[in-house]
Structure 1
């Protein structure tokens, strides 16, 4: 039975889970959730995802929500297939991996998500962006990427010389900020640009870049 991803095909974190499924060669079925009609806020949906957010998965009766937890689960359950060691197993390597995940969670995601909210989500709601907040978010993200430039000048990926989930977690919102919204944060950071070109060229991401 294929793993079922409940969410909208265009949702960034739904596409992230689908990308990891492809990395690990795990068949999946997308169960469409009409988020623009508020289906994710209904009691029927919130029975499985109490925060009313997408995605959640159903893996042969096992229900799990929160995209990063889902990706870890897939990487560990199907460790023997597809791209190896998306979550390293050796204790020190795993600790460095968790450090890299924390980098993304604390120093990338809040700013990239904030920019997306100001430029896209507010537009969908008929609102204007807060330009002062937007400027602050962009400045903060650029400062964080300056540190990325140093880290990636010493190694190929955020957790070392092999790709991990820590790198892949950047794909959905990085694509929105750097490509869809056109914020030029890579040209002056050649190590970040090299890394970004590498991870965005993966067949698994190209397959779900537009929709899961």
Structure 2
């Protein structure tokens, strides 16, 4: 039995988990949940994920967990021995300061990036794709303006170290990729702006990793 990832192949949160699984070389079976048909709202799914969302995992020992960031932390903690390089999540028992810096970076992602990026993506992209209503152009503009200001701060942070938590990549960096990709490729934000060279370097670095390259078109079972 291998770990099972239940989700929608191109959803941001499913891609986030799949990237981490690939980064740590964790074999998994992908179990599709078609959100366009409302399969995340059926009783069988809601019994496991009470908010009717995706993704969730069943580990090979039967352990079940939902919420993508929690899943990623769990995977990185359990399977850190699968990689010879950075483990994505510092060990709190032996690397307290590095772990604290990781949590700082993770909070930055959640409140200074994701809050604005996910809401902008909802307004500008997902509402039209998934029939979620009419785009609120005013709110979308506000989210993007706030995000642009925060990206200027990112460039300053990244001027002193390679990644957000230091010179080793962590989950906090990977957490950004799916929503940032939506906004960047559609030119709502520019993550390769010559005026933000450190941000550009970081973005090219994290999105060129084989883990992301292998899942960005949609999640499939691995190997």
Report the TM-score when normalising by structure 1.
0.96
Separation of aligned partners in 1, 2:38 and 2:207: 31
For the pair 1:114 / 2:119, whether they are aligned, the reply is: yes
Moved over 2 A (4+): 82-85, 180-186
Change (3 A) 1:11 1:126: closer
Separation of aligned partners in 2, 1:31 and 1:126: 24
Separation of aligned partners in 1, 2:177 and 2:191: 15
- Determine the structure 2 residue equivalent to 1:85: 87
Separation of aligned partners in 1, 2:206 and 2:128: 29
The Cα of 1:180 is off from its aligned counterpart by: 3.6
SS state at 1:108 partner:
helix
CA RMSD of aligned residues (A): 1.2
For the pair 1:102 / 2:104, whether they are aligned, the reply is: no
Separation of aligned partners in 2, 1:97 and 1:126: 34
Assess if the C-alpha contact under 8 Å between 1:142 and 1:185 holds in 2: no
- Determine the structure 1 residue equivalent to 2:9: 9
**Structure 2: runs of 5 or more not aligned:** none
- Determine the structure 2 residue equivalent to 1:178: 184
- Determine the structure 1 residue equivalent to 2:216: 209
Change (3 A) 1:126 1:32: closer
- Determine the structure 1 residue equivalent to 2:45: 45
Separation of aligned partners in 2, 1:207 and 1:119: 26
**Structure 1: runs of 5 or more not aligned:** none
Separation of aligned partners in 2, 1:180 and 1:35: 22
SS state at 2:82 partner:
coil
Superposition pairs for residues 24-173 of structure 1, below 5 Å?
24-60=24-60, 61-82=62-83, 83-89=85-91, 90-124=95-129, 125=131, 127-173=133-179
SS state at 1:206 partner:
helix
Assess if the C-alpha contact under 8 Å between 2:86 and 2:168 holds in 1: no
SS state at 2:81 partner:
coil
SS state at 1:161 partner:
coil
Aligned residues: 212
